[in-house]
Structure 1
């Protein structure tokens, strides 16, 4: 990181005026922050032949036109403000407004209204709203993107621009702006889909791998949003729910006893898959409870609280079934996925969670390990806002900066 920071800090980022706008000092600062966020993925030469979603997809799209560039500047400004402890960024809103203005101008031009530039810009505005806006604003851009795709003739019509084809296809699988929501169509990425080999996009195994890598980037960003949208959990962990806390402690202990670290090699083992699935189950339920609460209080502008009734329901269930799962992650998996039934009140989909686990299992061992550490760090905080050495520094931002090409 220090070498990369030195290189960026001492050089002109646009010596040949190749950026879509004339760079200012403000642009330089935000570009530096944006590139630093994805340091390993952008600058790790050890994986030159591996697919790199930032270098190979998002960076070319973000620098392809002025609207996309302003949207990523908004994203960078909002992220920088959050790191500085600010809840809102006027700078981010300014760049977002400029991106929207440019798109509106293009939409009034018949020759440009359905262009790749418009699609790329709307995709980045969707990214901004996912993490810094509201679900309602996300749906506005999502519906706009859907209309553009339909007018272009469907996603198949984007094959001439494979970057747009893959990113647009991934977004089309979403109905809610978080992969922790079971209403999304993630089964197509799991490799279990019966018609996958006939799919116009996923029928190509290279495309499937690339879309999974793009999904990983999106998922890790969702982990950061999950933390931001669950301030009570991040401040105090699950101390109010002792049975859930005990189940998480079991998963954490198993990880510590059976994993050698972030450099682990080899495919995902059965026990690792079981542990990941249990962790994703708990996170998905907590996300659902937070989403339900936010839907009722979204206009308040205050940090949301999670639905304690829903979380208490899981806690009571785990407490009453403790003899069935205590001391065994395999038994905990069976208890959660085969005995617990909350679909009638939460919209939980066990198969969705298994599919999400399967996609994560296809990633490298270091990435899987980092995702587990981040989620356990969020969920296992103590009442004193502390954490032990096992959790130290494992944050979504750190993981994002260290994800290697896959």
Structure 2
């Protein structure tokens, strides 16, 4: 990791998600699954500090952005439905892929909002954070994505394209992160998604919405990992 967070899209994870032929040629015995596991541990550890970059996000999560907060609550509801004991399946389903893509896209925009100066909103005279702009876009276009993760994913994709100069880099980075999560164990993938949802769905009094002793925090997830 060359940047202080794995949610910085300038980090290079190409060899983690899609090892090249050159990498295999240099060391045919290299265990790329082990490399993914090491990356996963580093990523989970990074989750512990991600929200700590901003006391506001740590205390309130995304609850100060009403439309964005509704979007992550919907992702939470879809996660719970998808991972009920009656319906959970091995592998990454299209709905799993859509949810993870949405979560990573939102987290990248959060990281940008935390670490960068505000960006100009549609060339207006006032300045807004990236999350303010995203929240406004979600509110104005609610009919396009409401209650559909399948629609939310392309909406966020288009929002990145329209808002960020490095949109293609962000989109490609999100794709690679999602692919890496699809290549680890089911338990690890579900655990990462739990942690992300637990952070993003904090209420405005800093309360989490899930049990903290059931893999919903980075510490509990790390303690449960066994060669993922």
Same fold (TM over 0.5): yes
User: Structure 1 length as normaliser, TM-score?
Assistant: 0.49
Q: Distance in 1 between matches of 2:133 and 2:166?
A: 10
Other-structure match for 1:232: 56
What secondary structure does 1:384 align onto? coil
- 2: distance between equivalents of 1:270 and 1:386? 31
RMSD, aligned CA: 2.4
Assess if the C-alpha contact under 8 Å between 2:64 and 2:204 holds in 1. Answer: no
User: Does 2:149 correspond to 1:329?
Assistant: yes
**1:244·1:315 contact (CA, 8 Å) conserved in 2?**
yes
Cα shift readout 1:115-138 (whole Å, capped 9, x = no counterpart) = xxxxxxxxxxxxxxxxxxxxxxxx
Q: SS in structure 1 opposite 2:205?
A: coil
Specify the alignment match of 2:67 in structure 1: 243
Deviations along 1:225-271, one digit per CA (max 9) or x if unpaired, are: 1022132112112121111101101100101111036xx66111111
**What is the match of residue 180 of structure 1?**
7
Q: 1:382 aligns with which of 169, 191, 203?
A: 203
| Alignment correspondent of 1:317 | 137
Query: CA 1:331–1:197 in structure 2 vs 1: closer, same or farther (change >3 Å)?
Result: same
8 Å CA contact retained: 1:181, 1:287: yes
Q: Does 1:401 align with 2:223?
A: yes
Structure with bigger helix share is 1
> Quick one: distance in 1 between partners of 2:180 and 2:193?
14
The count of residues paired between Structure 1 and Structure 2 equals: 214
2:26 and 2:36 map into 1 onto residues whose CA distance is 10
Distance 1:240 1:213, change over 3 A: same
Look up the SS of the partner of 2:36 in the other structure: helix
- The question of whether the paired residues in 1 share the 8 Å contact of 2:6 and 2:43 is answered with yes
Greater gyration radius: 1
Does structure 2 retain, via aligned residues, the 8 Å contact 1:187–1:355?
A: yes
1 CA distance for matches of 2:73 and 2:22? 43
1:261-297 deviation digits (Å, cap 9, x = unpaired): 6xx661111111110110011111111221226xxxx
Distance 1:283 1:200, change over 3 A: same
State how far apart, in whole Å, the 2-side matches of 1:205 and 1:279 are.
34
State the partner residue of 2:122. Answer: none
Q: 1:203 to 1:234 in 2, by over 3 A?
A: same
**Secondary structure of the corresponding residue to residue 368 of structure 1:** helix
Query: Cα distance, 1:322 vs. partner?
Result: 1.2
Cα distance change of structure 1 residues 201 and 212 upon mapping to structure 2, 3 Å threshold:
farther
CA distance, structure 1, for counterparts of residue 147 and residue 29 of structure 2: 40
Query: Unaligned regions of 5+ residues in structure 1, if any?
Result: 1-173, 294-306
Query: Equivalent residues in 2 for 1:96-107 (5 A)?
Result: none
